Structures are given as structure tokens and as C-alpha cells.
Structure 1
Amino acid sequence: MIRTFAAATFGSTTVVHDPAVGSNHLPPQPLPAGCVALDDQQVAAWPQPDLADLALEYPLSMCWSPIVRCNLDCPHCLDDKSVGESTAAERRVLAGHIAASGVLGVDISGGEPLLLRDLPDLARAIRRQGTSVVSCTTNGWHLARRAGELADALDAIRVSLDGATEATHDRWRGEDSHRRALTGIRAAVDEGLFVQLQMVLMQSNMHEAQKLLDLAARLGAGGVTFLQVLPIGSGAALAAEQMLTDGQAQEAVAPLTVPDGVRVRLRTRRSAGGFTVLRADGYAWRNARGATGISAFVPVTGPADLRLPASGSTS
């Protein structure tokens, strides 16, 4: 499949960012800076860099959570629900700062970003300069009704599925959330959106990892990302019961049979360290200490404030 990636050159090294998987790759030859159309299977075969070796002035990718509100109440949520939300006008300003920051990939998350009426406009504002690719992470509840208007605003959409079966997923995300998510995924695929499924890998759902890969193939999704539980926010209370070590997560994912056309990524806690997050109140911070805490907490008043030191980041 041909889809849009973002490229930039640091010194003599060109890096390509994948908006769906959230991964970075080293092409065999230099590419023009900005958004480029590439074959995703070809990109998947390119090696992934150790970003600490690139001496980056700013992170390659980031998460923007412009909303705290959510229609679900997941017990493993990372969000601080006491944070205030920016106004629509303030969101437009922040989108402009992101677009001018040099960051290659931006994932708009929450809360539940599909509750924002201006979500398509915010995504387009970030993409307007032609240097950034934009994805959105959603629980999928409202995706079926909004897929059409998001199709030309996003480069990819990531849908959270914490179980391949209704019983497992709805245990974590609430009654009917599995059916609504699958309906939304089908609608997004029909609109031509590249869909990546995301599962928070836990003791209670790891046995469904293979079933989730098979479900992704049947739905027409392009891949699955397995995320480690981060002991932040509500997720801290689940750490002792549900959290896997990075080694356990790797052992669970390694033997899986990957269907044709499906890409798989495991985001360990180590690889989440150093990742930049812009909160709903306009403050940016970085995951630190193996993604068990935060650092570099600053208010974003301009593009330079998003260029938090990337030393030690592997995201």
C-alpha cells in the first residue's frame, strides 16, 4: 500500500516516520524533507535507528492530548483528569506551534479526541506546512459517524482494542464498546483511512494477542501495536496485577503468526521513555525513567517549547 510518511535529514542521516505504527526507519538513500508517499511494506523492511545516536535537537514524534473528556472510563487510563482544557482558540494556536516545531509525527489523543468538533481542522492545521504527518488515537465509539470527515484530515487512525473478543474488551472499556469500535473500524477502512489497532498488553488479555492479529486482517486494518501498561494516572493502581515486564511482553509477541499485510509493533516501557506529550492545558512534558514518571514540564508558548531535549529517547 502506498501511503504518506514524513522524512527529515539530521546531519547525513535521513529518518522516515510512520504515522500509523509510530515507528522510525532509515531509508537506503536520502529522501526529500517533508511528507512523502512510500510503499509501507518497503518502509517496514528498513532498519529502525537508535535515536540517541542521532543527536536530535527535538523529538521526532509526539502526542497531543487536546481534550481530557472521554465517554468511557477505562481503569488503565494514563490521563490526569484534573487538567483543564484549552479553548477552541487556544487549540488553534497550539496546532500552529506544533506545525512549526519540526516534529515529524503527531498523534492526537485524549481523552477521546472524536468528541472535539474541530478535530479535522486541527489535524489539517498541523499538516498544512507539509512537514508533519498526523494520526489520531480513539476508542472508536464515535468513529463510524465521523470517519467520512476524518478521511482527508488524517494520515492514519489508531483504534484501541484491549481484547479480540467482546467479553475481554468490554471488561476494560465498558458494555458495547467492542461492537462500536469494530463498526467504526469498518467505516474507517471503507473511507480509505489506514487503521492501526492498539492493545494495552496485560496479564488478563495477552492470551488474545494472536486473535487480535487475525481480527485486524479480517477487518482490513494495516497493523497492531501492543502497548505496555504505564504506571501513570489510573494505570498505577493496576501495575501490580496487570503489568508485564518488557521481557515478558517480548516473549508474548515474538511467537505470534503475523498475517500478510499486517504490521506489528511492541512499544515497551523502555521505548516509551523520552516521548513528548502536550497536555490539554498547553503544558508539554516528557516520559522519563522508563516511562514511569515525567520530566521537562513547560508551558508551550511557541514552537521552540516543543523542542524538549531528546537525549536518551528511543521513541
Structure 2
Amino acid sequence: MTTSTGTSGRASACRMVCCGTRGATGVVYDPLTGLTHRTDDPTLAGRTALAEEGIAALPEVHPGELGDTTPVSVCWSPIVRCNLACPHCLDDKIVPEPGRGERAKVATRIASSGVLGVDVSGGEPLLIRALPTLLDALVDGGCAVSVTTNGTHLSRRAEALARCVDAIRVSLDGPDPQRHDRWRGEGSFAKAVSGIRAAIAHGIPTQIQTVLMRSTTAGLPAMVELADRLGVHGVTVLQYLPFGEGAPLAATEQVPDDEALDLIAALAPTPVPVRLRTRADAAGFTVVRADGQVWRNMPDTSAIAALRPLAGPTSLAVTGRDGSA
């Protein structure tokens, strides 16, 4: 379960979530945080606007505890390309990238699969010209939709995204240009911050995501202060996972979960919500690659389960005892 500290000081507002059932449990998926909540309200179904404080008051539940074969949410990476070259990237850059038609087919399959939420990532998804069309397909299918981006193209695309996305998650690796640009390249911090401001100005619920590494732990307090100044809804601290191009950094950059929990606890109280996604939280999470192949994090999050094609709406079902597809 994610550990969090702090409460939102933002004005009370409603945000779009997606509600459904898994097993015998009513659940609410929050696209802003990526969290799944348990609910006893049988009237909640489909895409629903709920008050921010109402969402936060619902108890969290790990999707793996719900006893259902269909994931609550998935991460879809419809693009491999990225305008940055971050050394800790989770993606495998040798994956073939689909054309526009194949992306549309994958969007339709995901939308009809019964998942409640989709986080569209990459690569850098804002490089896809037809991104709003893909997002519309997911929303029309009843999903709550977020986009995870490095933020460098967000300023120019925020207005168009505001009509078709429920939340934006912007990746930052440091609270200032010196610490962020070390990882993502010169000028990337200024562009990301400009993008965050544009998203908020267009009314998109926005949060900061930061990968926790040995090299970035000292910047956490300042990151929370930055989030407060920018007016975002919160900060999610993601435990480093040894996948993709970033796998070689694991030996030097991984922080144990117990140490990460202590780091987050030491931040309290915070002016915005701060959440930690531990490695245990990431166990079993489902990813749809750019080539339409599906994989899941193994239970210990040290590797991914075997790939299988997203051939139809049932392809996302969990069938293996280890949570594999």
C-alpha cells in the first residue's frame, strides 16, 4: 500500500475517477494518483466526478488483493521515441513502434477490456500528434485516463489535452535546474515547470512524479516545496525499478523500501499530499508495450513476466499464479 503524508491545501474540487467492481468489492480508480480505493457505495459506477476530499477519505487497496482476473488499471506506452535520454528510463528502446492505425486498434482493445483506468506513457506520449484521438477512444470506452509526460511539450499541448484527459503526471528528478537537468538534459526543468503551469491554468488535475534514487533523496524536501509553489495536487515518489535501459543503475541507485518509508515519514507534515509507491505496490502491475505486447511486474518487481500479445479484450486477464498474463 502506498504511504502518504500531508493533506491538500488546494480549493475543494471534483475530479473524474472510474468506479466498478472487482470480485465482490466496489472500487474507485483515481487517475491522478494511480491509486485504487475501496468503496461501499453501490451507486458508483463508470466515470464519475467525486470531490477530492471524498476520494482521499476512501481506504486504499492493492489491486492484487481483489481476487479478480481483470486488472483495475494498466499503463500503455504507445510510443518508444522520446526527446530526452534519461539514464534511468524503464523502457526498452528496441521495441518496434506501431503506426497510427495499429495504435488505434490497441486503444480500442484496451478500452473494451474492462479496465477502469489507463495511464498513457512512453517514451514521450506528447510526441504523438494523434494523442487526443487515442485518449478519446479510451474515455469513450469508459476509462479514467491520465498521461505521464516529461513535460517538455506540455505547454503547447495542454489546451488540447484539457478536453480529453482526466489527469497529468509530470516527471521531475530534481527541484531545480541543476539537479533535474543532470538526469534529463539542459533546459528540461524549465520546460517541465512551464508545462505544469500550463496544465494547471487549463484546469487539468496535475501532480509531480519523481523516481527515488540514492542521488535524488536529498532533494525531496525541496521537491515538496516546489510542488506547493506550483499549485499541483501532490507528489508521488516512485521506487526505482531495475527494468529497461535503467537496469544497470540498480546496484548504485536503489533505495530499500524500509529506508524509503523513513524518508517519506521524515517529510511530515507536508503542504501537499506526498505518496510513496513502494516496490510491493508495483507488484503485478500491467503494462501494454508500444508493439501491443502485454507484460506484468513479477511479485518481487525484480523482473517482468513473459510477454503475450494484446489480441483482444480478454488478453489483459491475469492467468498465472505469479500474476502473469
Q: Report the CA distance between 1:87 and its aligned residue.
A: 0.9
Which of residues 193, 214, 218 is equivalent to 2:229? Answer: 218
Alignment partner for residue 158 of structure 2, among 147, 164, 185?
A: 147
Other-structure match for 2:98 = 86
Q: Quote the RMSD (CA, aligned, Å).
A: 1.5
Amino acid at match of 1:102: G
- The amino acid across from 2:244 in the alignment is G
For 2:298, give the aligned amino acid. Answer: A
Residue in structure 1 matched with residue 137 of structure 2 by the alignment: 125
**TM-score normalised by length of structure 1:** 0.95
Which digits, 9 at most, give the CA deviation of each residue in 1:76-128, with x for residues without a partner? 00111000011100010110001100111100000000000011110110010
Residue 311 of structure 1 deviates from its aligned partner by 6.0
Does 2:120 correspond to 1:101?
Answer: no
Corresponding residue to 2:49 among 19, 26, 37? 37
Determine which of 14, 30, 50 is the counterpart of 1:2: 14
C-alpha distance in 1 between matches for 2:177 and 2:321: 41
Q: Classify the secondary structure of the residue corresponding to 2:297.
A: strand
- 1:275 equivalent among 285, 309, 318: 285
**Higher mean C-alpha deviation, range 76-85 or range 10-19:** 10-19
Letter of the 1:78 counterpart = L
What letter is aligned with 1:115? Answer: L
Map 1:65-214; keep pairs closer than 5 Å: 65-130=77-142, 132-214=143-225
More moved, 114-123 vs 232-241: 232-241
**Is contact 2:158-2:202 (8 Å) kept?**
yes
Q: Structure 2 residue aligned with 1:254, among 265, 272, 289?
A: 265
Residues 213 and 258 in structure 1, CA contact (< 8 A), matched pair in contact too: no
- For 1:310 and 1:140, locate their aligned partners in 2 and report how far apart those are by CA, in whole Å: 36
**Amino-acid identity (%):** 50
**8 A Cα contact 2:23 2:68, kept in partner:** no
Say yes or no: does 1:287 pair with 2:297: yes
Q: CA deviation at 1:29?
A: 2.4
2-structure distance, mates of 1:99, 1:75 = 32
The Cα shift of 1:259 comes to: 4.0
Q: CA deviation at 1:149?
A: 0.5
CA distance in 2, matches of 1:146, 1:258: 34
Task: Give distance in 1, aligned partners of 2:67 and 2:321.
Answer: 7
Question: Deviations 1:171-190 (Å, cap 9, x if unpaired)?
Answer: 00010000000000000100
Q: Which residue of 1 aligns with 2:310?
A: 300
Against the structure 1 CA distance between its residues 11 and 300, is the aligned structure 2 distance closer, same or farther, given a 3 Å change threshold?
A: closer
CA distance in 2, matches of 1:259, 1:277: 31
Q: Among residues 231, 235, 240, which one is paired with 2:242 in the alignment?
A: 231
Q: SS in structure 2 opposite 1:3?
A: strand
SS in 2 for 1:41: helix
The superposition leaves residues 185-244 of structure 1 with CA deviations (integer Å, 9 ceiling, x where unpaired) of 000100001111000011111111121112111111101110111111122111111110
Aligned with 2:305: secondary structure? strand
AA at the equivalent of 2:277? R
Q: 3-state SS of the aligned residue for 2:307?
A: strand
- Structure 1 residues 182 and 129 mapped into 2: Cα distance closer, same or farther (>3 Å)? same
Aligned to 1:243: 254
- Number of positions where the alignment pairs a residue of Structure 1 with one of Structure 2: 311
Output the amino acid matched with 2:220: A
Structure 1 residue 129: Cα displacement? 2.5
Q: TM-score, normalised by structure 2?
A: 0.92
In 2, are the aligned partners of 1:52 and 1:311 still within 8 Å (CA)? Answer: no
Gaps of 5+ in 2: 1-12
